[in-house]
Amino acid sequence: MDLVVATKNKKKLKEIEELLADFNLKILSLADFPRAPKIIEDGKTFDQNAIKKAATIAMYTGKLTMGEDSGLEVKALKNKPGVYSSRYSGEGATDKKNNLKLLRDLKNIPLKKRNARYRCSIAIADKHKLIAVVNGSCNGLIGFRSKGSAGFGYDPLFIIPKYSKTFAELGEKIKHTMSHRAKAIKKAKRVMARVLRK
């Protein structure tokens, strides 16, 4: 069975493919549908953006579709960057620029007050309806400098207290057991298992 993941982000797609590896699915992405409608991520919440992606692309392709939106919330910054995580540093934002802006915004704030959480919303839809929305989150701290080379986004700054290492240092194997996306995908799998049984 086909599953369209409504993203153009290659790193995110790779991570989702790895997390769904035990499912018998042919995974497609927006790269396979170059004429698909452009999705403006103007939702105020991760759920709203995920639903918009899933519903829009499911209607267009007629296939089971996963819409995903995720980001970082930093308590000291009143939960920013939130839904603006991927474009936090403005036009032409990159992971590196976003990380540098985050470090600037948290300047002089001690580690114990640098609490943060990654959040992920996943919406599953087919051409007829929205089937489910599931969520996952992962708590951590924001470090003072980038460490590690694995992962993407804010992973080089996101410290898991249990290991005293960033996601970028811990690597995919450990990240896939505890990340916000791993937790949301685990719930999404239960939903998709029901759909696939029909």
Helix (H, G, I), strand (E, B) or coil at 63: coil
Cβ-based neighbours of 50, under 8 Å, separated by 6 or more: 67, 68, 69, 121, 122, 123, 133
DSSP 139: E
The whole-angstrom separation of Cα 15 and Cα 21 is 10
Name the catalytic one among 47, 69, 95, 155.
69
Handedness of CA 71, 74, 134, 173 (dihedral sign): positive
| 69 noted as active-site residue | yes
Catalytic residues: 69
